[in-house]
Amino acid sequence: MFFKGTPLEAAPALHQAEAWFGLQFPATSLNLWVGPGGHTSCLHYDPMDGILMQLYGCKKILLFPPSQTYNLYPIPVYKQLRHGLKLRAVYSQVYPETPDFQVFPKFASALPHGLEVVLHPGEILFLPAGWWHEVTALGDGVVCSVNRFWTVLPMSRALCSWNKWRAHLASVLAMPHIGWSLISAMRHQRSSDELKKLIQRL
Ligand SMILES: O=C(O)CCC(=O)C(=O)O
């Protein structure tokens, strides 16, 4: 859902926070996240800086620094060659709430580096590019927040982020699969719904 032209887009608290964090160039518009309590966005990182603003209900966020990437067992970059955007290298294979230490033994070394915060309505969290986060909606009711992604500045910070590089590399590797899926959807005159799904993933 987009907020262009709505009061939320002009919300002073949001703009103050963006200025405070020194965010200058938005990479996306605002995205709305609405879900039931108990819903979890699995452990992943974003290659852009992000801010997450809580509107209604609370969310628990588990964070790990980029230094822990390989203790979190990211989906290997090369897998995007075979699976396109269906499997993304920015996702971890570990479920931190029910970790399987037999399969993912190094996750134990990441645990001491984990940070947990609870975001309440009106609070805003800055999520630097490359930081791992798992987001869980708390309580029984509907939980709602907005986020927006920002260009990583200064450029030197972007260039020094291995997590950013590996995310971009994975996107490049996904291209042949995406191209092939588009061509085969068109060749087989699949329904416009399927094409829409592909475009949404992009
Ligand atoms: O709120 C959520 O469920 C996910 C938000 C998120 O992953 C983000 O802001 O980067």
Per-residue model confidence (pLDDT) at position 190: 62
Residues sharing a CB contact under 8 Å with residue 193, sequence separation 6 or more, in sequence order? none
The pTM of this model reads 0.88
Helix axes 162-187, 192-201, angle to 10 degrees: 170
State whether the beta carbon of 119 lies less than 6 angstroms from ligand 1: no
Domain boundaries, the chain: 7-201
* 55 close to 6: Cβ distance less than 8 angstroms: no
For range 160-167, the mean pLDDT? 97
Right CATH for 7-201 from 2.60.120.10, 3.10.20.30, 3.50.50.60, 3.10.129.10 = 2.60.120.10
Per-residue model confidence (pLDDT) at position 185: 76
How much distance in Å is there from the Cα of 83 to the middle of ligand 1? Answer: 23
Per-residue model confidence (pLDDT) at position 7: 65
Question: What SS3 string covers 21-64?
Answer: CCCCCECCCCEEEEEECCCEEEEECCCCEEEEEEEECCEEEEEE
State whether the beta carbon of 125 lies less than 6 angstroms from ligand 1: no
How much distance in Å is there from the Cα of 192 to the middle of ligand 1? Answer: 28
Per-residue model confidence (pLDDT) at position 189: 66
Ligand 1 atom showing the smallest separation from residue 59 Cα:
1
State whether the beta carbon of 33 lies less than 6 angstroms from ligand 1: yes
Per-residue model confidence (pLDDT) at position 18: 87
pLDDT tens-digit map of 45-76: 999 999 999 999 999 999 999 999 999 999 99
For range 73-101, the mean pLDDT? 95
Q: Which of 52, 126, 148 to mutate to test the pocket of ligand 1 (most atoms within 8 A of CB)?
A: 52
Strand duo 49-56 + 142-150: pairing: antiparallel
